[in-house]
Amino acid sequence: MSWYLGLDSSTQSISAVIVDVAAGRLVEDASVSFSELPEFKCPNGFLAGDDPLVRHADPLVWLAGLDRLLQGLVDRGIDLSKVVAVSGSGQQHGTVYLTAGFLKPRAWVWAGDLVGTVRPMLARPTAPIWMDSSTSEECREITAAAGGVAPVQKTTGSPAIERFSGPQIRRFWKRDPDGYRRTAVIHLVSSFMASVLAGRSAPIDLGDGAGMNLLNLGTGAWDPGMINATAPDLAARLPPVVPSHTEVGPIAEYFVRRYGFARGTRVVAWSGDNPNSLIGVGGYAPGTAVISLGTSHTYFAAMRRPTVDPAGYGHVFGNPAGGFMSLICFKNGALAQEEVRRRHQLSWKQFDDCLRRTPPGNAGNMMLPYFVAETTPLVLTPGVVFTGSETFRAGGDADAMVRAVVEAQAYRMRLHSSWIADRTDAVRVTGGASVSREVCQVLADVFNARLERLETENSAGLGAALRAAQATGAGEWQRLTDAFCRPVAGQSVSPLAANVEVYRRQLPAFEAFARQGRGGQSLPHA
Ligand code: XUL
């Protein structure tokens, strides 16, 4: 028996990847979209609301999704008793607030399903997620209390950032002190899901813990100064922080009885989606950069030393294989492309056709794609900015609009990743939009780098499965990633010299446009 399960609780869906390590075979890659669970009102992963800066989810949708996902596997004849170990991946930064009941697993009464069991233990009915940008005031307060931007950045790997967990916790304490008092433990999405799987409150791993503005990267422990700057009595409410390969315990009896997991199936600490993807694309060692085109667009790589971004937009997280990883995140990822597609009523195929029809450089038509509040750079009032022809600016040219959003995303990624010092020999691309050859061509040309594509676009789920295998002794990173993370032959996308030249000339123009457009040029919250 050598099956390992990776679960991926992401923004818009939950998925499962099963690998058979002995056979070197991907057994299953299945997914449930939250739009299939309309009763939770999170079809795109978050609850509707009037304030564009506030983005919360109902954490129960992740649990209903997990039940549905596992039931679907069983219905398709997947024998889950073959799974030796399971780990997982969660959208980063989101926080779940739970009462003392959650800390007493023996008191958990598995009330028919996961939703019924956990609902009474929620101290706060909603969970702020990474899309939330509502905590600028709290970021400023934390920065001031912790002695300024530089110490916060040096200690935690990032300045205080709106979507990070610390500022989110502070906002909750300020706005709902009773709710905060009722809260016995605050989990990340990753550690919350791991807890439910193991039927006990699980620790937070170093990979995801680094996205909270609370972890001291030097000591690998919660930082007392950052904790005090964030909220009173917070230390008592945080789970312990552990290396990512830590075992959390055997799987809860619920999963044994309901889905046929073997009693004693090992649960390994979950991590964030980006740290998991780093493993899932085979990028665990420095030298490989990763572009992830999911709900958010991210650029990241394993790091030799935890160097911070002088501009203050990039982050340092824990690498689940040990050491650190860089990361830069763009909130206007998949949803920005979807918005252009929706406005011009295009299918994804037509979206690709638009790219095929338009010239690189887009005849000078450019866009700053701030459809939602952005974090890189910090833009709190959403609004798209255009420059170029009159028809383009008036929104009448669908072809140019599509190319403008894709090129802007590539330019922004190129410009904001320049602080990452480690040399990269390869760029691997993952996430939903990585299936589009046209989108990959723009990235290859803007970065002047060959882009390698992998078999699964769900690198976070695959990374979680490989982490479960490595942590429980099924193999070393090299062997596991060689077997499962090979780029698919014939699927790589090479830069085209003529296009590279166009973008080399256009990039400074975009940079100037972005600088005068909007968005901060200085360190956030300085
Ligand atoms: C990373 C970030 C997002 C989320 C959701 O800092 O906020 O990439 O992890 O994917």
Residues 422, 398: one domain? no
Query: Which range, of 17-26, 331-340, 352-361, 509-518, averages the lowest pLDDT?
Result: 509-518
Q: Is 274 in the pocket of ligand 1 (CB under 6 A)?
A: yes
Same domain, 317 and 447: yes
Distance 246 CA to ligand 1 centre (A): 22
For the chain, how many structural domains are there in total?
3
Residue with the smallest CA separation from ligand 1 atom 7 is 130
**CA pair distance 340, 326, nearest whole angstrom:** 29
- Clarify whether residues 98 and 189 are in a common domain: yes
Same domain, 37 and 114: yes
Expressed in angstroms and rounded, the spacing between residue 214 Cα and the centre of ligand 1 is: 17
Ligand 1 lined by 333 (C-beta under 6 Å)? no
91 C-alpha to ligand 1 centroid (Å): 6
Per mean pLDDT, which range of 93-107, 162-176, 492-506 is the poorest?
A: 93-107
pLDDT in tens, 299-343: 999 998 899 999 999 999 999 999 999 999 999 999 999 999 999
Q: In this structure, are residues 469 and 19 in contact, taking their beta carbons and an 8 Å threshold? A: yes
Does residue 316 share a domain with residue 260?
no
For residues 38 and 59, membership in a common domain is answered with yes
213 and 132 co-located in one domain: yes
| Count of C-beta atoms within a 10 Å radius of residue 88 | 32
498 Cβ contact list (under 8 Å, min separation 6): 360
Say yes or no: CB of residue 412 within 6 Å of ligand 1: no
pLDDT tens-digit map of 161-209 = 999 999 999 999 999 999 999 999 999 999 999 999 999 999 999 999 9
Q: How far is the CA of 336 from the centre of ligand 1 (A)?
A: 15
The verdict on 193 and 264 lying in the same domain is yes
Q: Would the CB of 91 count as within 6 Å of ligand 1? A: yes
Q: Is residue 521 part of a domain?
A: no
User: Is the C-beta atom of 329 inside 6 A of ligand 1?
Assistant: yes
CATH at residue 450: 3.30.420.40
Query: 370 with 445, same domain?
Result: no
- Whether residue 255 is found in the same domain as residue 351: no
What is the helix (H) or strand (E) element at residue 324, kind and residue range? strand 324-330
pLDDT tens, 243-274? 999 999 999 999 999 999 999 999 999 999 99
Q: How far is the CA of 79 from the centre of ligand 1 (A)?
A: 32
Residues 57 and 145 grouped into a single domain: yes
Helices assigned H by DSSP within 105-223: 114-118, 136-145, 149-156, 165-175, 177-182, 189-198, 206-209
Supply the range of the domain harboring residue 402.
Answer: 334-415+499-516
Task: Say if 524 falls within a structural domain.
Answer: no
Give the pTM. Answer: 0.96
